[in-house]
Amino acid sequence: MQIGDLSVRSGVNIETIRYYERIGVLPKATRQTNGRRIYSPADAERLGFIRHARDLGFDLTSIRVLLALQDQPAASCETASQIAQGQLEAVESRIARLLSLRDELARMVSECSRGMVSECRVIEALASK
């Protein structure tokens, strides 16, 4: 399949596919005589793995490790578990920060009387930090 077909099938932008090739997380595509890239179903599966991992927030360094582990089916999955645990902790930390942010914004909005700017609790709260 050509790069446009791979993009549609995987939901990954064409430029991102080219970038993944340049950095080596996706193997270099074979080329037709006219220079067009040709991808295999295995390339599409690998790209799907990468996209799903990116959707879950994994960075490219972690994805490289996970892809290498995928190529070793008899190896221990301890490293994969540690990487996933680290990502889970990062997500939980972001959720905690977002909940705190939500609470602060809700407080600012609820304390605003929607009067004059000189008495605005939103402006006052932002200026006090």
- Residue 108, pLDDT above cutoff 80: yes
Burial label for 99, CB within 10 Å (0-12, 13-18, 19+), is exposed
* Integer Cα distance of 117 and 113 in angstroms: 10
Instruction: Return the pLDDT at 129.
Output: 61
Please state the domain extents for the chain.
1-57
- Give pLDDT tens digits for 30-86: 999 998 999 999 999 999 999 999 999 999 999 999 999 998 989 899 999 999 999
Instruction: Return the pLDDT at 118.
Output: 76
- Residue 18, pLDDT above cutoff 70: yes
- The structure's pTM equals 0.78
- Residue 119, pLDDT above cutoff 80: no
Q: 1-57, which class in CATH? A: mainly alpha
